[in-house]
Amino acid sequence: MPKTSPEIGGMGHSVKRKEDPRFIRGKGNYVDDITLPDMLYLDIVRSPFAHATIKNIDTAKALATPGVLAVITGKDLAAYNLHWMPTLMSDTQMVLPVEKVMYQAQEVAAVLATDRYTAADGVDAVEVDYDPLPVVVDPFKALAPDAPVLRTDKEGKKDNHIWHWEWGDKSATDQAFDEAEVKVSQDIYIPRIHVSSIETCGCIASFDKINGKLTVWMTTQAPHAIRTVFALVAGHVGLQEHKIQIISPDIGGGFGGKVPVYPGYVIAVAASVLTGKPVKWIEDRMENLQADSFARDYHIAAELAGKKDGTLTALRIKTVADHGYTDAAANPSKFPAGLFHICTGSYDLKAAHVEVDGVYTNKPPGGIAYRCSFRVTEAVHAIERMTDLMAHEIGMDPADLRMKNFIPSDKFPYKSALGWEYDSGDYAGALKLAMDRIGYAELRKEQLEKRARGELMGIGISSFTEIVGAGPSKHFDILGLKMFDSAEIRVHPTCKVIARFGTKSQGQGHETTYAQIVAEELGIPASDIAVEEGDTDTAPYGLGTYASRSTPVAGAACAIAARKIRDKARKIAAYLLEAHEDDLEWEPGKFFVKGSPDRAKTIQDIALAAYTNHPQGMEAGLEAVSYYDPPNLTYPFGSYICVVDIDKGTGEVKVRRFMAVDDCGNIINPMIVEGQIHGGLTMGLAPALYEEIQYDESGNCLQGSFMNYLLPTAVETPAWETDKTCTPSPHHPLGAKGVGESATVGAPAAIVNAVVDALWHLGVRHIDIPITPAKVWKALRDAGVSE
Amino acid sequence: MIPRSFEYYAPRTLSEAVSLLEKLGPDAKILSGGQSLIPMMKLRLASPPFIVDINHIPDLGYISETDGSLRIGALVRESDLESSPLVRSRYPLLADTTKVIADPLVRNQATVCGNLAHGDPANDHPATMLALEAVIVAISPRGEREISIKDFFTGLFSTDLQPDEILKEIRVPTPPPRSGGTYLKMERKVGDYATAGVAVQITLDEADACLRAGVGLTNVGFTPLKAAKVEDFLKGKLIDAAAIKQASEIAAGESQPMDDIRGSADYKRDLVRVLTARALNRAIERAKGGA
Amino acid sequence: MAKIEINVKINGAEHRAEVEPRMLLVHFLRESLRLTGTHIGCDTSHCGACTVLVDGRAVKSCTMFAAQVEGREILTVEGLEQDGKLHPLQEGFFQEHGLQCGYCTPGMLMTGVAFLAQNTSPTEDEIRHAISGNLCRCTGYVNIVKAYQHAAAQLREGGV
């Protein structure tokens, strides 16, 4: 039950979004909508080869094209030591190459021109001579002793191994496996995919020579981090942090793909600094898919041990992580495999051990945290597949096996075998609700009947635990920047509010939800609260929005700052009411004297008084700032149940129903949460059935455009069914956990489990995603089944 | 994303268009729907120096049934075909086909004639037109010429159209009574080209034996394929379950798929088999008066 | 290359302009006319973010040359609100949370304007097929379907 009225619009109200009026009128302000006087355009020449020495770059024809002003190469940037820059994981990446290229579509040179069309002609006219080098696209081959060494730029590097990371008690785990009554093992490949928001990446860099100030409008989810990185990387060419402004305007979807610093941004900045003119760079879709970054690409070898009665005892995972040519993952620096060690999931596993080895290959860089916190989709895929495998192997219903092994709801805070302290959870409650809502028992009956007739129907479950809200300063930083976040709230004399944050919405509705938190805490109507994010000149420092961290971290900061304001408001109220602070009670929007409710002051009275009638000795004004260091992560969870029907003739998988029960603790705006779930589920369906990026032996990208990188339309997407349970976070000021990514994390395994469940009786044990009709057809034919 | 420059012409009559083609030579390309041409130009896979835009020529958007044929004019959009009550009621195979071409937005611009003129074995209408034994009408400085559809597709992206010819009209013989047809397209998602597609048009005699069968295959060869062996096999037969099974296997044998990103040749061949069987069942159902 | 002159009506206003033949309609709208509500999301005519109405038909403006719209009437998202009154679809998207980042929204709106003009009682399946040329990454389409249904109901009751 919401504590505030709908007019106030605090937590729990499905307040209509304050950002919508401009978007429904086509008056959004995305980077490519912005035009500045004298603006120039940057377009990029890209390598057709995945690995090649650059012999020569001939710019004569390009420079002779009317309207082309310059062609920038690696040699030009090298003069300023800007040809290489750090990645978010403290590896190094090329801005523009001098010696060689290391992935197909890598940036090779940049053309600066007076307009977009001329820049494209200029790119066409640049002639590059390459000497192809041997290509390595298979990470296992990359680890072979005779593999060509890719990172010849790293002095002394003799292999393609980036790092080895392991976690957990190896001997206890090995012992548990030795003693296990039942063991299941499975190799699981989670292919490369791309976030592919409908808006691609881009920027306008504008250097004001007179004032020495650089302003960059950029598609970025983390504007402050970008500003600091620019100051550190380009400080030697005169850029200073107080004279760098990053503006993240409206962003058309981020999903983690707009966190890294892409070469295009740096080249645009360099070009602007050199010319003193604004320079716009917008990647087109093929560049976006082929070059900027990627997600997943984990080769997982998982083993699960248990007893014949279905008790799970231990988990062992070895993973090879294909990072492309550089480790540009966006992970907290201590965790090169992100939060992969959440992989014991929702189960009370007593022992676990995980190892991950990062590998270089001739592919674009990354390890984007694509709507997955950090590697949580991979972790959940592994544990939920293995759990299902175990259930099928021992002949136990997968729901029963999960129920048997869930961490009981009274065991929280729960310390997992891999060291995470889960804050709260009621896994059995979520699964039970999902089973009731979908009619699980009837579906199992129907499945048996259909199977007897030779019809293929499957039911798959995914009961995931997410781990979000990075993160406590003790363990979390990106490039050394701690992962706090911030809120700065100021109440004006007429009790309207401006609230600014260190996060940056790309569609999550922060202009509405943060206002609702302030409304909840101060009783000021959400419609009276303006929310701003994204301009580093005005917003307090934060690490941005990704990994579902906004509500857990900045949302907490918002509550704390609002409470600081309320504390001061109490003092002012006491002064105005000539009462003692302790004699006052608060209800949303007003303080009143205990026992005399007519002796009251509204928050509006108090706001005005803060500027016109504040007590002597107190500073005027009514505002507060909070930089929130979360004491722990938060652990949203859920249970998803998927029903599929498989066409025996064509191999097509049809998702007949999908029930998603999510628990993200206390909810700010149910409408917005539900929208996040719908979108997240669709981003889980997509890699499960449609999306992947593959490379052939020469490093050619096979899905370099929407022709073959298959985003689901409304026809492929099921009518998602959703419900919720509510298990608040005990440590979060609002009891909220964050939810933006849960569905992307939880959904793929439910779909795979359903397909394998449909085909288990034919001897099928596993299919790697994407589960295309061609793969299903092959599995069916191998099992002797056809139409 | 940005095409190379070109010279643009917008004739107001067909004869003006045809003279332009003659004058400009083989490097000139006709722009009708542009939904295949413009994407290629944006990727610079095609950079014709001369574009002749026929969209401003009036009276080319007709769909009419005269003299025993459905006549489809050069500027009939796919969505016009889709919404035509005439086509829906009397040419259900065409209605099935147009509905699965690309997506609704592309269909609002793409022309039916353009779908044939492009010579792409991945386009959907070719198989359908083969099954319906359509006739292409081309116009050039030399006048009009009729081309039988089975002679029209000469190779990958090539048709019998001369450089100075414009595909002016498609004529589809009106099917006799007791006819039915359908088009089944297996696609990875809406908007994709076919992994494999099968068009079937059947006419039954009074005893339910097959008078005539037309079968066309999409995207399983270098050209759209006419499954002539299937057609011959079915002619005169009562199409029972055994005949359908055999016909579908023959169809699979007539297809010439390659391994590619949509699937292996084996998979596509089996899809042809499965889809042919399903399409035959549906076509027969419709021929007997079903919907 | 020589420019050509086009005369075109956009959102009710007549425009005359000189354009390179190769200029795409979407760039003409966004850059020459500063109507940036129509968006670009891909380069292979798949995403539909660029959807506008040309003579009442919903088309992908990235797959047309500006030259082609000589003498035609174009409606973009900026032309939907009339005299301060939102089109029922705009209202529907707002009421039903049919948008998140807003980038695909203009395309979804324009497809809907043409679709609902032909069909004011669509089934869910018909709606999903109607928007199958418009990609969305944020919403999972559920609320877009609801937005269309909301608008259809309003149109049936005689709104606009």
pLDDT at res. A322: 97
Say whether pLDDT at B138 is over 80. Answer: yes
**CATH class as words, domain A294-470+632-782:** alpha beta
Query: What are A23's two structure tokens?
Result: 């978007």
Closest-CA residue of chain B to C49: B105
- In the chain, the amino acid numbered A303 is E
CA torsion sign, B2 to B7 to B8 to B13? negative
Separation between Cα atoms, residue B5 and residue B26, nearest integer Å: 17
The nearest alpha carbon in chain C to B190 belongs to: C132
* Residue among A120, A777, A787 whose CB faces B2 most closely: A120
Provide, as residue numbers in chain C, all residues whose Cβ is less than 8 Å from the Cβ of A680: 140
DSSP symbols for C72-125: -EEE-GGGS-BTTB--HHHHHHHHTT--SS-SSHHHHHHHHHHHHHH-SS--HH
CB distance A199–C39 less than 8 Å? yes
Q: Chains meeting B at 3+ CB pairs closer than 8 A?
A: A, C
pLDDT for res A207: 97
> Which residues, in sequence order, are bridge partners of residue A639?
A463, A661
Chain A partners of B188 at a C-beta cutoff of 8 Å? Answer: 690, 710, 772-773
The radius of gyration of chain C from alpha carbons, rounded to an integer in Å, stands at 16
Average of per-residue pLDDT across C65-93 = 98
For residue A388 the two structure tokens come to: 């299902």
Searching chain C, which residue's CA lies closest to the CA of residue A507? C101
DSSP string covering A169-198: -HHHHHHHHHH-SEEEEEEEEEEEE----S
- Inter-chain contacts counted by CB atoms under 8 A, chains A and C: 182
Helix (H, G, I), strand (E, B) or coil at B126: helix
* Record: contact A706-C46, CB cut-off 8 A: yes
CA distance B134 to B153: 12
Q: What's the token pair of residue A558?
A: 């918002």
pLDDT averaged over every residue in chain C? 97
Q: Is residue C132 within 8 Å of B103, Cβ to Cβ?
A: yes
* Cα separation, A668 vs A735, whole angstroms: 10
Q: What is the DSSP code string of A442-469?
A: HHHHHHHHHHHTT-EEEEEEEEEE--BS
Contact B51 C129 (CB under 8 A): no
Query: Is there a contact between C44 and A35 if contact means CB atoms under 8 Å apart?
Result: no
B115 contacts B159 by C-beta, under 8 angstroms: no
A422: its two tokens: 């889960």
One of A371, A375, A566, A570 is an active-site residue; which one? Answer: A371
pLDDT at position A652: 98
Active site residue A372: yes
Cβ distance B44 to A284 less than 8 Å, yes or no, reads: no
What is residue A553's predicted lDDT score, i.e. its pLDDT? Answer: 97
Residue A432, pLDDT score: 98
Residues A283, A253: contact at Cβ < 8 Å? no
Measured in whole angstroms, how far is the alpha carbon of residue A275 from the centre of its chain?
A: 35
Name residues whose C-beta falls within 8 Å of residue A595's C-beta, 6 or more positions apart in sequence: none
- Residue range A497-515: mean pLDDT, rounded: 98
* Whole-angstrom distance, CA of residue A168 vs CA of residue A177: 14
Nearest to C97 among A17, A508, A683 (CB): A17
Q: Specify whether the CB–CB gap between A143 and A135 falls below 8 A.
A: no
Is A710 close to B264, i.e. CB distance below 8 A?
no
Domains of chain C: 4-79 (3.10.20.30), 88-156 (1.10.150.120)
For A205-252, the pLDDT digits (tens) are 999 999 999 999 999 999 999 999 999 988 888 899 999 999 999 999
- Cis previous bond, A770, omega within 30: yes
User: In this predicted structure, what is the pLDDT of residue C1?
Assistant: 65
Radius of gyration of chain A (CA): 27
Residue C160 has pLDDT above 80, yes or no: no
Best to test chain C binding among A23, A24, A201 (most C CBs inside 10 Å): A24
Task: Report CB contact under 8 Å: A25, C41.
Answer: no
- Rounded Cα distance, C1 and C102, in Å: 37
Whether A221 is catalytic is yes
Structure-token pair, residue A749: 């395994």
Q: What is the distance between the alpha carbons of residues A412 and A740, in angstroms, rounded to a whole number? A: 23
DSSP secondary structure letter of residue B177 = S
**Is B166 in a helix, a strand, or coil?**
strand
Task: Tell me how many residue pairs between chain A and chain B have CB atoms under 8 A apart.
Answer: 55
Q: Where in chain A is the domain with CATH 3.30.365.10?
A: 20-27+485-628, 294-470+632-782
pLDDT at C159: 55
Residue A583 has pLDDT above 90, yes or no: yes
Query: Above 80 in pLDDT, residue B36?
Result: yes
In chain B, what residues touch C58 (CB-CB under 8 Å)? 104-105, 108
3 state SS of B17: helix
- Partners of B191 on chain A (C-beta within 8 Å) are 713
* HSE-CB of C39 using CA atoms within 13 angstroms: 38
Choose among B50, B54, B74, B51: nearest CA to B62.
B74
The Cα of C67 is separated from the nearest Cα of chain B by a number of Å equal to 8
Q: Is B72 on the interface with A (CB under 8 A)?
A: no
A192 is catalytic: no
Residue range A249-292, pLDDT digits in tens? 999 999 999 999 999 999 999 999 999 999 999 999 999 999 99
Q: Which fold has domain A34-133+201-282?
A: Aldehyde Oxidoreductase; domain 3 (3.90.1170)
Contact C127 A21 (CB under 8 A): no
The H or E element containing residue B70 is: strand B69-73
Concerning whether A741 is annotated as a catalytic residue, the answer is yes
Average pLDDT over residues C141-151: 98
Banded model confidence at residue B290, pLDDT cuts 50, 70, 90: confident
* pLDDT for A237: 85
* Tokens representing residue A168 in the block: 């957990």
pLDDT band at A389; cut points 50, 70, 90: very high
- Cβ atoms within 10 Å of A784's Cβ, excluding its own: 8
Q: Quickly tell me which residue has 């050209």 as its tokens.
A: B223
Strands lying side by side in the sheet with B28-31? B7-9, B50-53, B28-31
**For residue A779, what are its two tokens?**
């599995």
- Percent of chain B beyond pLDDT 90? 99
Q: C-alpha angle with apex A464: A460 to A469, nearest 5 degrees?
A: 150
Mean model confidence pLDDT for chain A: 97
Q: Which CATH number fits the domain A20-27+485-628, given the four candidates 3.30.1490.20, 3.40.190.10, 3.30.365.10, 3.90.1010.10?
A: 3.30.365.10
Q: How far apart are CA A409 and CA A423, in angstroms?
A: 11
Tokens found for residue B255:
């297809």
CATH 3.90.1170.50 spans which residues of chain A? 34-133+201-282
User: Could you give the C-alpha distances from A520 to A239, A401, A470, A549, A565, in angstroms and in order?
Assistant: 41, 41, 24, 20, 13
Chain C neighbors of B43, CB-CB under 8 A:
43-44
- pLDDT value at residue C2: 86
Does B291 score more than 80 pLDDT? no
Instruction: Write the burial class of residue A86 (CB in 10 Å: 0-12 exposed, 13-18 middle, 19+ buried).
Output: middle
> In 3-state terms, what secondary structure has residue A664?
coil
Q: Are strands B225-226 and B210-218 parallel, antiparallel or unpaired?
A: antiparallel
User: Are A177 and A169 within 8 A, CB to CB?
Assistant: no
CA A188 from chain centre, in angstroms, equals 22
Q: Do B270 and A781 touch (CB under 8 A)?
A: yes
Catalytic residue among A203, A372, A495, A701: A372
Interface contacts (B, C; CB < 8 Å): 91
The residues near B179 (Cβ < 8 Å, ≥ 6 apart) are B201, B202, B203, B204, B286, B287
Structure-token pair, residue A759: 């085909």
Distance CA C150, CA C112 (A): 12
Contact yes or no for A507 and C41 at CB 8 A: no
Q: Which chains touch A (3 or more CB pairs under 8 A)?
A: B, C
Under the banding of pLDDT at 50, 70 and 90, the label for residue A314 is: very high
User: How far, in Å, CA of A509 to CA of B66, rounded?
Assistant: 58
The distance between the two most distant Cα atoms of chain A, rounded to a whole number of Å, is 88
pLDDT value of residue A234: 87
Can you tell me the mean pLDDT for A1-26? Answer: 97
CA distance A708 to chain C (A): 10
